[in-house]
């Protein structure tokens, strides 16, 4: 082999080494820029209770515009929840008006599927969860929910948020920081498994003997103590939170199109109802009362006549679940719990 060939081979090897070193340096630089703002999943006390298989979870509704609306009451500002949310920080080189920022955010974030919260800081250092039109902001955080009943935040969903945040940053010539994707996805999966094992929704059925006029049913529900709650009718606790709700042939009251109904479903959503030692027996007692008033039978989820003898046993089981939720950091009926169990 000639000196020329040896020299060419040596030069080629050197070039390859230089490329590898350059790529490694680039990778390390990007990792430093995107250093995680979240706690490591392994060190999170919540994550030590994982196990089991997650049940099927429901798709939430996200309204970006509602989250951006101006609010005059920011006296009690919530904070980012590092256990349940992944955060991207955007720092503006120049203060940005709330009106313009709101428009850009709505455009860039409109196709995202997981709920997002916004935390913006004004020039004076005030924190807002809602953008005020004439206020000027120097930075903001985008906090996306890691998991809910639709499942964990996926790598695609996180990537979509990151791309959207990049578009916002480019529009305002801002800098961007956030955690690495694999950390976010891993924590989301762990949170999803944890919450799936703490989740429970139980129901009873009031099967009517035949079609009953909807208005008569509504009147009867009112007499029994039900009140309007959003799109539903609910039996409310003193705190104003539903203990349980009622469905008309499987639909919320506002979605009912027919003039009559043949079935009422009483639904107790454990994470979203206040802790109660008699949570189930209260619902069963109301169900029996409705069955008498409307001429029907109280059945379990499998369509069997429900026995009063089971009330206490189910009460005890549900109260254990309430306690497990609280031990895991999710107090039943509170807003933090509602974000994840939605």
In a domain, 26, yes or no: no
The pLDDT of residue 173 is: 94
Q: pLDDT tens digits for 178-220?
A: 999 999 999 999 999 999 999 999 999 999 999 999 999 999 9
**Among 63, 44, 58, 326, residue whose Cα is nearest residue 188:** 44
The more confidently predicted of residues 331 and 47 is: 331
Percent of the chain beyond pLDDT 90?
72
In a domain, 238, yes or no: yes
The more confidently predicted of residues 66 and 7 is: 7
The pLDDT of residue 38 is: 33
143 and 242 within one domain: no
210 and 145 within one domain: no
235 and 113 within one domain: no
The pLDDT of residue 71 is: 43
Instruction: Quickly list H helices, the chain.
Output: 3-33, 64-68, 98-109, 155-172, 181-198, 214-224, 279-294, 311-327, 335-340
121 and 93 within one domain: yes
Q: Domain containing 134: what range? A: 41-197
Average pLDDT over residues 293-299: 96
Q: pLDDT tens digits for 109-162?
A: 888 889 999 999 999 999 888 899 899 999 999 999 999 999 999 999 999 999
Q: Is the pLDDT of residue 92 over 60?
A: yes
Total count of domains within the chain: 2
- CATH number for the domain including 325? 3.30.1400.10
Average pLDDT over residues 244-248: 98
Residue where one domain finishes, among candidates 146, 175, 197? 197
Q: Is the pLDDT of residue 264 over 50?
A: yes
Q: pLDDT tens digits for 19-76?
A: 555 555 544 443 444 333 333 333 332 222 323 333 445 433 334 445 565 444 444 4
- 180 class by beta-carbon count within 10 Å (0-12 exposed, 13-18 middle, 19+ buried): middle
222 and 95 within one domain: no
What's the chain's average pLDDT? 85
114 and 126 within one domain: yes
How remote is the C-alpha of 328 from its chain's centroid?
A: 16
How remote is the C-alpha of 325 from its chain's centroid?
A: 16
**Among 120, 157, 154, residue whose Cα is nearest residue 140:** 120
138 and 242 within one domain: no
């Amino acid at each position: 082999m000639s000196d020329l060939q040896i020299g060419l081979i040596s030069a080629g090897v050197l070039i390859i080494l230089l490329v590898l070193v350059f790529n490694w340096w680039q990778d390390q630089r990007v990792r430093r820029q995107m250093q995680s703002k979240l706690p490591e999943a392994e060190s999170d006390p919540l994550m030590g209770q994982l196990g089991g298989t997650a049940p099927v979870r429901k798709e939430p509704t996200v309204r970006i515009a509602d989250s951006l609306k101006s609010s005059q009451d920011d006296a009690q500002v919530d904070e980012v929840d590092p256990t349940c949310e992944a955060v991207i920080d955007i720092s503006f080189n120049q203060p940005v008006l709330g009106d313009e920022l709101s428009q850009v955010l709505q455009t860039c974030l409109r196709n995202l599927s997981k709920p997002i919260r916004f935390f913006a800081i004004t020039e004076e250092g005030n924190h807002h969860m809602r953008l005020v039109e004439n206020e000027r902001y120097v930075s903001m955080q985008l906090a996306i929910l890691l998991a809910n009943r639709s499942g964990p935040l996926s790598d695609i969903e996180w990537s979509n948020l990151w791309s959207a945040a990049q578009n916002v940053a480019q529009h305002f010539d801002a800098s961007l920081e956030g955690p690495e994707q694999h950390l976010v996805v891993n924590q989301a999966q762990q949170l999803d498994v944890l919450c799936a094992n703490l989740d429970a929704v139980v129901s009873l059925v009031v099967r009517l003997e035949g079609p009953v006029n909807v208005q008569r049913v509504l009147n009867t529900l009112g007499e029994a103590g039900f009140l309007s709650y959003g799109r539903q009718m609910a039996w409310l606790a003193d705190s104003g939170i539903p203990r349980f709700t009622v469905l008309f042939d499987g639909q919320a009251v506002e979605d009912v199109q027919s003039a009559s109904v043949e079935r009422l479903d009483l639904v107790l959503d454990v994470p979203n109802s206040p802790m109660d030692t008699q949570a189930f027996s209260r619902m069963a007692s109301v169900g029996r009362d409705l069955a008498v008033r409307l001429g029907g039978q109280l059945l379990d989820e499998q369509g069997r006549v429900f026995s009063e003898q089971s009330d206490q046993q189910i009460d005890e089981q549900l109260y254990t679940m309430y306690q497990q939720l609280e031990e895991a950091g999710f107090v039943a009926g509170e807003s933090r719990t509602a974000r994840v169990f939605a």
